[in-house]
A and B are shown apart, each in its own frame.
Chain A
């Protein structure tokens, strides 16, 4: 890829196939018994829209946006994030980002990016910043 520059918009990355099966599969992978992911009674009692898609899955969509943009050789140096709203099966979310600053040397570009995960109505599910290293090719 060409080297990123400050102000550059990172191409949006859409995840439209969030399912209860995927939520359950991640529960197994994480050995996670938190009932907000699969207990209808607790979900109703807490007034949630549905089974909560795991935070780490939402973070993965944002990180995957960066890989889709810069290629699989991209390295994450630091990723700061804050959860604002839940994501549930059936939602379509879009990861978006902007390069805040970029500095390059012969071997790589180090870029700081503002990133977010948006619901279809534009509300923010997760916001954050990522510092990445992109090798020159």
Chain B
């Protein structure tokens, strides 16, 4: 595999602003899928911090992989991250989704060879107050091939 460019050029790339409203039906559907507990009326499951930003940012997983020069076949994967909440997510409330790529660095693993870690940060924002209600930071792993001898 040829050498990949320094991924630092990706830092600062913003996704198009989007929006997402967690519906009662979606909240119930997620509860069924993960066999989860019932939450108080109007409260959305906190994992919607990922789902709402993932869908609302308008860039699919495959498109994100392509954007950073990777692909599903190349082993592009979601490696970790964090959710932080200023308040609980609510069913039926519209959130603006905004964010982009905030970090990108190359690493070398003994078993994995060279890979890049691309980090995105996406906020769910109350459109009326402008307050950030929740933030999803996600780290994606992009294998870049073997290390040259």
Binding site for B on A (CB under 8 A): 15, 17, 22, 25-26, 29-36, 42, 45-46, 55-57, 59-61, 63-64, 67-68, 72-73, 75-83
Determine whether B127 belongs to the interface, using a CB cutoff of 8 Å to chain A: no
Determine whether B1 belongs to the interface, using a CB cutoff of 8 Å to chain A: no
A63 to B46, CA, bound (A): 8
A16 to B37, CA, bound (A): 15
Known: A79-B83, A80-B82. A29 touches B26 (CB 8 A): yes
Known: A29-B51, A64-B37. A76 touches B83 (CB 8 A): yes
Check A29 against B29 for contact (C-beta < 8 Å). Answer: yes
Check A79 against B82 for contact (C-beta < 8 Å). Answer: yes
Check A60 against B61 for contact (C-beta < 8 Å). Answer: no
Determine whether B79 belongs to the interface, using a CB cutoff of 8 Å to chain A: yes
Interfacial residues of chain B within 20-74, with CB under 8 A of chain A in the complex? 26, 29-30, 32-40, 43, 45-47, 50-51, 54-55, 60-62, 72-73
Chain B interface residue bracket vs A? 35 or more
A76 to B50, CA, bound (A): 14
Determine whether B9 belongs to the interface, using a CB cutoff of 8 Å to chain A: no
Given contacts A32-B60, A34-B61, 4 further A-B contacts (CB under 8 A): A15-B35, A29-B26, A59-B47, A83-B79
Check B78 against A67 for contact (C-beta < 8 Å). Answer: no
A74 to chain B, nearest CB (A): 9
Determine whether B80 belongs to the interface, using a CB cutoff of 8 Å to chain A: yes
Centre residue among B34, B36, B43, B83 by max chain A CB count within 10 A: B34
B39 to chain A, nearest CB (A): 5
Known: A25-B29, A42-B72, A83-B78. A72 touches B37 (CB 8 A): yes
Q: Smallest CB-CB separation from A59: which chain B residue?
A: B47
Known: A30-B51, A33-B60. A77 touches B33 (CB 8 A): no
A116 to chain B, nearest CB (A): 13
A35 to B61, CA, bound (A): 10
A44 to chain B, nearest CB (A): 12
Known: A60-B45, A67-B37. A31 touches B60 (CB 8 A): yes
CB-CB < 8 A to B4: which residues of A? none
A56 to B144, CA, bound (A): 25
CB-CB < 8 A to B83: which residues of A? 76, 78-79
